[in-house]
A and B are shown apart, each in its own frame.
Chain A
């Protein structure tokens, strides 16, 4: 099979799917031209991710990666969410095919973009290095 059982489970039964009204931070990464866009909505209280939801346009592994990423950061302090790597997302899904690894990269970037949005909105100082985006597709 193309995907692990875990990937198929998160793809067919995605966790935390949807939008959050009055989200504290929203991050969107990817490009429709390349075939995947991920949007993360965060509800943050006292430096902790109280709730998280996602919307994804993309393939099975993109949807599964978003779903898994939300599970991995829900209830976690922002500092911990920021350390979530794409490898951790892929490993939690019992692996992704090599040419689908960019989906896990998008998940990591979407979270970071949402946290950055929260910091920006609330004038919270941060290390810009931490959010150096790495394009995974031919960006326009």
Chain B
């Protein structure tokens, strides 16, 4: 099997497992308990918090553990919205291609009286700080722009956007779920007030994430109950997962430069190989993208059948086609960068990590080439394109 869907989830690393297993076996204490077993758990929890904070250039009290990226996104937006509402500021700026954890929370806030501006991301999949600045009004309380897009991998100028926000006294949140462990993060240097991350995107376990919030920002609870996480997120801490996350993030940050070099090389080989397929094209900027992200659209075919046939060849990949989402519309991300519906249906996302090999990349290129050509061979759309009854969108 060739695993090339690392943007969906990653294989937990040895370091993450080694950190988790003792905690699942003997060290099962509740961090809130007073006896030694509990206090050992408390120490392990706070040690993990301090290490995660250090990796982000934050302080431990600015780190809140959550159930993952979606919860962190929800709490970040709810908190910033509550602060804004108290000052009578009810305008939020974001982009058209955010994750649904952001977009759907924004839709909920709109129903509660907020107004939302979603900025264009252009064909290259990148919004500019100048565009953010133009959209800011005296009513704006929050700007939320993802660090890197989950489907097409394009990297946003977060430090510049953060600087613009601070000039105008607006809070800045970034959904760094795809970026954490893969791109450098320094919340101070990058002017970030709120940041979300998820452990399973960097070889940690599923079901755990972090909301970073600058210490001056009061959080709004999504979950009420006990006094865990300074009373801002009730529920007994998921200590095994937190320890696995801390170990995985330590690992990822320690090897960031080396992993980036290895994976970027694999990515660019894959992009070059797939670019040789006629009437197919890379989605989003070729260089300002995550080291492991390769996203293509191929004309005349549909993504789900492409994925199923790649699976038959042992390759795990994903697509933004409607059929893979269970809805009628293809990915909002591909539509946001201007892909027409019929082209967006033929999308393929391959996301690599440092464990992939050049040989695997060659195999992927060969398999995609075969499958695309096979599916085009039975596609009436391809026939129409070939016989000149329809014009190619991708030359």
Contacts and interface: CB of A to CB of B under 8 A. Distances in A.
Contact of B330 (A35, A39, A100): A35
A137 B342 CA distance: 14
B11 interface: no
Interface stretch (A53-61, A84-92, A124-132): A53-61
Nearest to B390: A32
Interface stretch (A10-18, A43-51, A74-82): A10-18
Contact of B341 (A11, A32, A62): A32
Main DSSP-derived SS at the B contact region: helix
B302 A59 contact: yes
Contacts of A12: 308-309, 312
Contacts of B383: 19, 55
Interface in A1-48: 8, 11-12, 14, 17-19, 28, 32-39
A11 B305 CA distance: 8
B378 A63 contact: yes
Interface in B359-380: 378-380
A115 B143 CA distance: 57
B308 A60 contact: yes
A121 interface: no
A140 to B, nearest CB: 10
A138 B380 contact: no
Interface size class of A (residues with CB under 8 A): 20 to 34
B244 to A, nearest CB: 29
A34 B380 CA distance: 14
B378 A36 contact: no
Interface in B298-315: 300-305, 308-309, 312
Nearest to A37: B380
A68 to B, nearest CB: 15
B302 A58 contact: yes
B77 to A, nearest CB: 30
A17 B341 contact: no
B378 A56 contact: yes
Contacts of B76: none
Interface string B276-309: 0000000000000000000000001111110011
Contacts of B326: 99
Contacts of A32: 341-342, 345, 381
Contacts of A99: 326
B323 interface: yes
Nearest to A35: B345
A92 B267 CA distance: 43
Contacts of A137: 328
Given A55-B383, A57-B382, A35 B322 contact: yes
A3 to B, nearest CB: 8
Contact of A57 (B302, B322, B341): B302
B224 to A, nearest CB: 36
A99 B323 CA distance: 9
A57 B381 contact: yes
A92 B373 CA distance: 28
A14 B312 CA distance: 15
20 contacts: A11-B305, A12-B309, A32-B345, A34-B328, A35-B328, A35-B330, A36-B302, A54-B378, A55-B379, A55-B383, A57-B382, A59-B303, A59-B304, A60-B305, A60-B323, A62-B302, A62-B305, A63-B305, A100-B323, A138-B328
Given A38-B380, A55-B383, A58-B305, 15 more contacts: A8-B308, A11-B305, A32-B341, A34-B328, A35-B302, A35-B322, A35-B328, A35-B330, A56-B378, A56-B380, A57-B301, A59-B305, A60-B304, A63-B305, A63-B378
